[in-house]
Amino acid sequence: MTFGFAPSSAASLSTSATSANRMLEPAEWAAAGIPLLRNPREVVSGLHARHHPQPATAVVAVLDPDDRLRASASFIRRPAPADGWMFRNVLLAQLRRVIPHDLRRRTPVRTAVLLYCREGDGSWTEEDGAWMWGLRDACTLHGLRCGAYITLTRDGWQVLGEGRGGRRPNATSSREPFATSEAPPPLPRTGGAASEILRRAAAR
């Protein structure tokens, strides 16, 4: 998926001025009432295990009211100026591809979160601000709650605006098993009438 085009120099000045308004500063993001993740480490680990993002990879995911993963998609961010409107469009296209919209609901019940793997440290950048703007707008257009924005760098992961993070996984981590939300069902208990029935069936 390709972002942007090559405008004239005059158009570039106009575009950059407009793009500056399509990003959210950390204070604006903090004031937006973004719901906190119950277990951010589990969400990050699960998305990392599923998509194994490398730098310049974005992972958008939809969580149910219990923070269980319902759908996710990953894609590469093409080299182009950071623009929240373009980010909004690509996020909305990915959401439409993996899960039906919730526009008929009065109140959103599912939440979209965005994990972006990039170079540098975990502190806020203008590119992060453009992703935040794009995520918020894409959620509105798809009938979802806007959830956490998470950066993944060589230093680890960071939920921007919350001050929560960790060292693993990070941008250089190898693929790990799925998180507990993806774990297989527990093995049946041994002993009792059920075990006796299974033993007799196996003996036939």
Residues facing residue 62 across a β-bridge: 71, 112
End-to-end CA distance of the chain: 58
**Per-residue model confidence (pLDDT) at position 162:** 85
**Per-residue model confidence (pLDDT) at position 18:** 46
* Contact call for residues 37 and 148 (beta carbons, < 8 A): yes
* Contact call for residues 139 and 112 (beta carbons, < 8 A): yes
Strands 111-117 and 145-153: parallel
pTM: 0.78
The position carrying tokens 């921007």 is 160
**Number of Cβ within a 10 Å radius of residue 198:** 12
Residue 69: phi, psi to the nearest 5? -70, 125
* Contact call for residues 146 and 139 (beta carbons, < 8 A): yes
pLDDT along the chain (204 residues), means of 10: 37 44 90 92 96 97 96 94 95 96 91 97 93 97 97 96 92 70 40 43 43
